[in-house]
C-alpha cells in the first residue's frame, strides 16, 4: 500500500472532514494513543507483564490513523509530511546521527 493510499482509506472512517475538527481529533487522539503505547511497556518493565508486540503494533496503527486525519486537516498528504521530516533530518544530521550535532543543534525545531 502506498502512503497516500493509506491516508485516503483512513479518511473513509473519519466522522467528519472539517479541517479544524480533523486537527483537533488528531491532536487529542495522538495523546491518548501515546498512553496506550506507553502503558504496556510500563507494565512489562515494572509489573512483570508479558511484552505484547502485536498489541503495540496495533496501537502504532491507531497512531498512524490519527496522523493521517490530522495531516488532512492541515492540508497535507502523508507523503509530504514524511518528506518534510526526512529533509529536516538530513539537514540536521547530514552524515547520520552524531551526538555532537544533537548536543549543539543550531535550529530550534
**Is residue 36 a part of any domain in this protein?**
yes
pLDDT, one tens digit per residue, over 10-22 is 999 999 999 999 9
Q: Which residues contact 75 (CB under 8 A, 6 or more apart)?
A: 19
**Is residue 98 a part of any domain in this protein?**
no
CA angle (94, 99, 102) in 5-degree steps: 70
**Is residue 17 a part of any domain in this protein?**
yes
Report the CATH number at residue 19.
1.10.287
Q: Supply the range of the domain harboring residue 22.
A: 3-76
Domains in the chain: how many in total?
1
Global pTM reads 0.88
pLDDT, one tens digit per residue, over 49-105 is 999 999 999 999 999 999 999 999 999 999 999 999 999 999 999 999 989 988 988
**Is residue 35 a part of any domain in this protein?**
yes
**Is residue 99 a part of any domain in this protein?**
no
Burial (CB < 10 A; 0-12, 13-18, 19+), residue 73, is buried
Amino acid at each position: 500500500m502506498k502512503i497516500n493510499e493509506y491516508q485516503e482509506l483512513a479518511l473513509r472512517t473519519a466522522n467528519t472532514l472539517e479541517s479544524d475538527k480533523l486537527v483537533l481529533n488528531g491532536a487529542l487522539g495522538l495523546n491518548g494513543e501515546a498512553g496506550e503505547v506507553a502503558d504496556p511497556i510500563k507494565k512489562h518493565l515494572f509489573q512483570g507483564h508479558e511484552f505484547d508486540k502485536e498489541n503495540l503494533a496495533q496501537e502504532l496503527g491507531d497512531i498512524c490513523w490519527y496522523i493521517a486525519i490530522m495531516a488532512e486537516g492541515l492540508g497535507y498528504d502523508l507523503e509530504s509530511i514524511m518528506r518534510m521530516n526526512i529533509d529536516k533530518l538530513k539537514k540536521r544530521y547530514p552524515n547520520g546521527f552524531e551526538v555532537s550535532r544533537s548536543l549543539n543543534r543550531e535550529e530550534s525545531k
